[in-house]
Structure 1
Amino acid sequence: MTAAQCRGARGLLGWSAADLAGRSGLDEGFVQTFETGTGDPASGRIEALRSTLMRAGIVFTDGATPGVRLSEQQRGGDEGTRLGDLTTENDR
């Protein structure tokens, strides 16, 4: 997880650094330091942040441009009726 992903995930959830710290059992100063990219945090502490965010519904995307998004459950998850399930009764 990158610092930007952490900030973005908090933004999607509407959490402050203090919220994330409290939910992960870490110090708010650690969250702020990690998100500014200073210091060399232990990987276990970063994993604690990541796990907390994932439990709250954040999905981390990797690849050429790492990012974050809300899980389908957090977004409502209702995709509507799939094409193969359409009938004259539910096609409205």
Structure 2
Amino acid sequence: MSAAQSRAARGLLGWSEADLAARVGLDEGFVRTFEAGRSDPASGQIEALRSALMAAGAVFTDGDSPGVRLERRAEPDEGTRPDDLTTENDR
């Protein structure tokens, strides 16, 4: 994951640098420095950032045009509403 992909994924998710840092247990300054291209962090730290972004729905693309997009997620199934319960759907 590149610094630009990290910034883009955060933007798509509406996360601040502090939000991402908190989700992976790193300092906000680490995220800021990485995304500004002013550091060469360990691959494990980058993978931690990437994993957190992916868990929230970011999909990273590589190859000729590296980028990021959000994964379409199905709406959560709310189940059967109480007013709609019958003996037929009570199984």
- Shorter chain as denominator, the TM-score bin is 0.7 to 0.9
Amino acid at match of 1:71: E
TM-score normalised by length of structure 1: 0.78
Task: Report the RMSD for the aligned CA atoms in angstroms.
Answer: 1.2
Of Structure 1 and Structure 2, the greater helix share is in 1
Structure 1 gap segments, 5+ residues each: 77-92
Q: TM-score, normalised by structure 2?
A: 0.79
- Sequence identity percentage: 72
Separation (CA, whole Å) in 2 of partners of 1:40 and 1:72: 32
Could you tell me which residue of structure 2 aligns to residue 18 of structure 1? 18
Residue of structure 1 equivalent to 2:58: 58
The residue that corresponds to 1:32 in the other structure is 32
Runs of 4+ in 1 over 3 A off after TM superposition: none
Per-residue CA shift, 1:17-76, capped at 9, x if unaligned? 0000001111100000000001211100000000000000000011111000000117x6
Local SS of the residue matching 1:18: helix
Q: Which 5+ residue runs of structure 2 have no aligned equivalent?
A: 76-91
Indicate the structure (1 or 2) with the bigger Cα radius of gyration.
2
